[in-house]
Amino acid sequence: MSAPASAPLPDLPVTFRPGRTRAVLYGVGIAQLAVLTVIAVLLPNLGGGERVSFVFTGLVILGVLLLLARPKVVARQDGVTVVNLTTKRELAWAQVLRVNLRQGDPWVHLDLADGTSLPAMGIQPGIARDQAIRDARTLRALAENHGTGDQPAR
């Protein structure tokens, strides 16, 4: 486990996102919208309202898939921004005590100085396990480098 600590840290700011998952969500969202739009146009017995409802349904599904593709973690010189599905939280490095990605976890969890844990859905091992592990190790090294959990309480 000492090898990741000796690896050079990336230049800040750096953004961690589940790239493959986002690509799949974008692709599926655009494809289903296209299919529903084509169906709305090609079915001969549909009225105007029914056609609009097909396209509207496709847009709603696309919106949900884009929301699922939103998570990211941005590490900056002064702290970390965690963007999950519907929330965004700014943290100073001193607030992040530990970065955890255990076997079977759906995403990284940040242990915070106030005793809580914050899910960071921007790093998730779903379909890119090795990349998520590298990203979690990099975020952990950045947190340790910026003096998070090793500082005495004041």
Q: Is residue 142 located within the same domain as residue 78?
A: yes
Produce one character per residue of 28-65: b if its CB has 16 or more CB atoms within 10 Å, e if not.
Answer: ebeeebeebeeebeeeeeeeeeeeeebeeebeeebeeb
**Lookup result for tokens 């963007």:** 83
Query: Residue 76: which domain range?
Result: 71-147
pLDDT value of residue 126: 82
Q: Is residue 139 located within the same domain as residue 87?
A: yes
Residue 47 lies in a domain: yes
Q: Is residue 44 located within the same domain as residue 96?
A: no
CA atoms within 13 A on the CB side of 134: 11
Residue 13 lies in a domain: no
Q: Is residue 58 located within the same domain as residue 35?
A: yes
- Count of structural domains within the chain: 2
Share of the chain above pLDDT 70, in %: 90
Using the predicted structure, report yes or no on whether residue 94 has a pLDDT greater than 80.
yes
CATH number for the domain harbouring residue 100: 2.30.29
The stretch 75-101 carries a mean pLDDT of: 94
**Residue 145: band (very low, low, confident or very high) from pLDDT cuts 50, 70, 90:** confident
| Direct distance between the N- and C-terminal alpha carbons of the chain, in angstroms, rounded to an integer | 30
Q: Is residue 80 located within the same domain as residue 139?
A: yes
